[in-house]
Structure 1
Amino acid sequence: MASACPGCHTRTAPGARFCSSCGHALPAAPAPVPAVGTGREQVASRRTVTVLFCDMTGSTALSEWLDPEALRHVMLRYFTRMRACVEDHGGTVEKFIGDAVMAVFGVPLTHEDDPLRAVRAALDMRDSLDDLNAELRRELGTAVAVRIGVETGEVVATVVPGADQALVSGETVNVAARLEQHAPPGQILVGAVTRALVGPAVEAEPVAALSVKGKSRPVHAWRVVRAVERPATMLRGTDSALVDRTAELDALLALHRRTGRDRAGRLVTLLGDPGVGKSRLARAYGREAVRQGALVAGTDCPPYGSPGPYAPLAALLEGLAPGLPDDGGSFRDRVAALLGPVRSSRATPQGNSGQDVGGREAAGAAAALLDRLRRGEAPGTGTEEVHLALLGLLTALGRDRTVVAVLDDIHYAAPALLDAVAHLATGLTGARVLLVCLARPELLDHAPEWSEPAPTATVLPVPPLPKADCQDLVVRLRSLAGGTADDLVLHLAQGSCGSAAVPDAITARIAERAEGNPLFVEQMVAMEREGGDLESVPLSLRGLVAARLDRLPPEERELLGCASVVGREFPLDQLRVVRAGEQAAPPGEDGRTAPEELLAALVSRRIVEPLAASGGTHPGGAPETPETLPEPGGHRFASPLIQEVVYAGLSRRLRAERHERLAAWLLADGVTASPGTPPSPPPPPDHTTAGGHLERAFWHRRGLGLLDPVARRTGAAAVAHLTAAGAAALARGEVGWAMDLLRRARAVDDVCPAGGDRDGATVPGPGGGAAAAVRLRLRTALAEAHLATGHTERALTAFHAVHEEAVRTGDQATAARVRLQLAYLEPGAPGFGTALDAARESLAPLTEAGDDLGLARARLRIGQAHQSEGRHARAVTDFTAALHHAARADAELERAGTVGAFGVSLWLGPEPVPAALRRCEELLATDLDGRRMARAALLCPMAVLLATRRRFEEAREQLVLASRTLHDFGHAFAAPAVTVFAATVECLDGRRDSAEAMLRGARTDLARLGDTPLLATATRDLVRVLLEQGRAAEARDLLAPAEGDLMAVAELHALHGRLLALTGDGAAATAHLRRALDAARTTESPLCLADVELDLAHALADLADPDGPPPPAARAHATAAHRRYRAKGHLVGAARARLLRGSSAGRTGPEPAP
């Protein structure tokens, strides 16, 4: 095959050892691309190629009158010319079929301009017939013509060892053949993909859409007119203006100075095409920021395989560690020490540390959260808590110095991480923090708001380098030995280059083709040094990477293929597992080069780069410290695009096998012990990562049209592990992440039901067991996720189906768990009983199954039932048991619900308010340290306790914090629940209008969600607000009969009595209030009894002479209520009772001043 001389770039003959023009020694031909694995076998690869079909017209007529020997001579001359035309342009003849020629461009080596080469070869093939026809006319008195079809697309390609032949298959081959069949003699038709890739380099005219055999839709085609000789460029994006890097660097430094001067955080997004130099510009700015004393840290967002939405923050937090107090403590302790003074400075005016909602306990909780993120663990909290923790850390770090946080590849970030960055951009006040995000334009496809103008956010476009700077970069890189381009780019950006020398032809050609893309320049210079053909200059960055990778030695290509399966970052132990197909063997034992040697070579080629010890690279360019030195064995692809191209080149079958191999190792233990080292206890299985690998493996096998036993086992295991990961995320309260995992599991299960059609089949995965059990776990978790996201009707339908299936299969534990949900959501529905009945009857099967999550829910329901009957001591006992089971199950939702219910018993039960508040504060400082969701749940009843002590602003602050936390967990039931508590605080503060509005909104939401018990509570509260304003008619329409739980019965009788007293029906009013009093006296709630006593006093006052003093009976009940409120420590209630005792007005009169 023709190649180019590395000295003068003259085309050389196939097989030549020296250049015929300058005498330069020619490099040996690279090994064929498909030689992967150990080098002892051939494996097909997936490649983007251009396929050409050429058919001779008139050959049948020739065969009718031409002697077979003469015909053979004509065909040989024809085939020789056609092959020469193909090979002159770097193509490979796959086969001759009769009088047709099939050629492929892109096998065995990719060239970025393969589509253009194919079109030029087609033109040469057509034109070469002129000489052949002249000979045929002279010798035989005849002539021939050709018609040609060309198309580009993905194929599976294999090179036959020892044969100058490529085997390709795929739809692209069929389309190219159909285009050739529809082309008139002497014409060339190209498909849509090829037309788009050749761009202005080829003049072509559209033809009518073709209806071709085997295609359901018409095929668009263009007739090639001619190739444009040496166009100014054949790259896309040439219409964009080229500007110097000085402007971008100056803009960054100006923002840096402004951030420090104004002490206000800002977000700047460097937006540009891949390879244009965003990362290099960020590193240049980072070095200057470090020189000026800034703390610089960075991270990047992987395109897939992330264990969670916040995983990229681990490297960023590690990079920020040098800015923490250096007291020798752990990261968590150092963060807490830093945050404590900042948060304490925001304490309430009372100065009481026990009242300091954002005090040191919050600092400790934030430190614990940040430490989990630093270790790459799930936060275990809602997004708002992550936002607040990051905000607190950056604010504290930015008090005394400028902090620069760089987030690369943010277009790959999960929505939760994008939200966190946006939240920081608007919340960093009083701190010198500059957030620098690097993104491709694709970011705006799924986050268009990112480009909208904002006071604290700036989008800085990064265009290609101007021509002069690009040429200077080529010159310096060609003369650079063993270094990097970063210093040169900084030099260019500072405007200190700009050589006036006329560049040589090679430099000019590289600069022209690179179009100012520094990555293009860097890779093309490296290819030139290795003897690559500069005429294969890229048409797109992906093509450049593919062309570059094709020229690597086979073992390096094979190693990259293994690494691409792991992800952009690949630890050495995982790379060895994928490569070896077994636990890592000692280097050289399998006859292959040790991976360390291959990685060193790839690092020198700038294909991969070593990872720092923190798990990420350091765009700030800070001086090397023990924290920033490269970590042996940790590497990553220098660009995510390289990883994508390598991965796309693997066959689906090979990808599937490697994903399965890695998943099996991760699930085995994920750790390779060193020789002589005793094995350590295996870590918990990473269901998310392993499930993701199994999921990808299944879809690759499915993409091959396979649903054989291997594919079914892989799919079943993927379902099991994704289900386990989703259920765990749901238990942690990460509802959005859980729904994503469970939907992915359901998508696999829909195509490949766990175990196929055999419900008894064993499924490899967490818990193992029958396929039916795995499927049931998935459906149960999905139903719970639907419920948590507010899709109650969908959840109810799913719960009923799951319950029916669980009963049918004898899964008593699952049936009991689902019955708990249905009894709560559909109280009184036939077949499920009350929530208390369902909870009590579930204890035995759940205990037998060891289901701590189910037991936590059952104990919580039992405790809530006792609570609704006013038996708070028994309720606390059940809540304690529920907390025990929730902790064992690591169930944050159940922990939060139980803690919240415990807080309600502190509010309504016999515990005096001061003691109850101290108990809440102790819980926040100890048991709930770092448990943000549970803390938020406790803050709601704690806010009511504060309001009873007239600490209304503190109460509202706590509710705002709780609302943000619970709402951003994505749990739909949280917002109306917090609103009901907030309305109670407003009532205690005498703000009835505000309380009414809140309660009406909460009732609408609760009715939609189907939360019947909480809806009844909100309705009773609204009726009370209306009665206190004398709006009897509206209250009557909402008031339910006095039935149900004891606490509800007492309140409903009291409300009926108040309503009847307002309408003048004294006998009926008194009867209801007496029944209310009897019910309240049987509870353990002094607050319930005090409220009924006060209601009775108001009713008696309303029935008496409105102009006179309250009757003695009213004053007696008001006195009793006052005594009970004082004993409870309820200052607001005591004041209201005291007012009524000496007032001539009823309950509907004016409120006392708090």
Structure 2
Amino acid sequence: GDGWEAYRAVRAGLEIQRALDRRPVAAAPGLRVRVGVATGEAVVDITAGHDGGHGVASGAVITLAARLQEYAPPGGVALCAATHRAVDGLITQRRIPAVAVAGKPLPVDVWHATGVRAARPARPDGPLLGRRRHLAAAREHLAHAVRGPGPRRVLLVGPTGSGRSRLLDELMHTTPTVDGVAVRWCATACPPCPDDPLAPVVGLLRPLTGAGATPSAPALAGWRESLLSLARRQPVVLAVDDLDRAAAAFRRQLDTLVDRATADGLPLVLVATADENADETTRPAARVRLGPLDPVTTGRLVRRLLPRTGRSPALVRRLLPLVGGKPGYAMAYARMLGVDAAADPSRAGGPTLDGDATRPLPVPESVRRVVEARLDRLDGPARAALMAAAVLPGATAPELARALGWSTGRMAATLGTLSAAGLLVARRAGRLDFTDESLRQVAVARLPRAVRAALTARTARTPHR
């Protein structure tokens, strides 16, 4: 998956209810349904999906979703705690008292989804550290494109959390001119699962319609001509954040616009951010690739962010392996710690979290969404090996092979794939370690306690973390 499955599921539940409100069933005009959404792992058999059949899914999460329906009001959508966390900030929700659910020993927390929050992407506000070389490269590619000979597409690519949105923001606000000529920036962002595939067009037209105005229907219909007309008067830069999330219709029209500008010799340039694994475009493009920050720069960034949270500087050492060189992760942990301290001021700088090195820091939901999507993209054997390595930190390849009952050859090949993907690294004496501690924590949390115990029992050594 891509980390937005829970959001799509809740959106689908809300849309079912809206569809029934708009077009009631003639035979049962008062018909209302209840929807339950639960998030977790399930066993899916897709072999049944032929000749008009459907795949079969089973597991505790399926049963929980079915039970939750009972606690949704007619025409409502009920969410479990995991779904609530996954869509927090994206879906408006109302908590109800915990309920008893068959098969669960303790009461289950439930939320009712009440609507979709309006997408208002916040401007990245963290300090820009360790990216000056990337900023200079992006600025040079932009100037080359505006002058004419360079590709009219500049892509800032990197994994989620690498700070590509922050780099785009810095480029926009520090490059008002190229060769002394004023540049008109038209910025937009591509939200997940938009109601309208061309929704990002509104942002691109905002410099023409005014900050608070909504473009008219004729303006939206002729948006490409409007931008081409503007490019005949001055250089235009289209800044598109998260282009890899854009609908195919918007990407096609955007490509057509840039191609026309290139053919007509107009100074119109697309500068976009995208995931490193996304197929952003088949057209010629200059790329600026963002890797992880080095440990020293990561430490400087975390030290700059911690004062905002009211937390002790002692947390720097604990946050470094969790951040893994990703500025976006650092911001997510800082926000989480700041909110936690605001909710309970007694925790700010206190020993309950800052001084207790044995208590793991929770993974922020925005980071968890990214990490779980990364896990889901692995094939079955690679995911099994990675989860075994998470349960047995510092294990060697033979120990992991013994834990899973695999041959050493099969384990060596799978670990080679995980190492090539940058997920695992071999330390001294062949001990394997995670490059991303947040990934290890999420992988461990996915496994039931009984499975973790069984993996540990199959090895001769005990996890030392």
- TM-score, with length taken from structure 1: 0.20
Relative contact order, CA 8 A, sep 6+: which one is greater? 2
Structure 1 or 2: more strand by fraction:
2
The answer to which structure has the higher helix fraction is 1
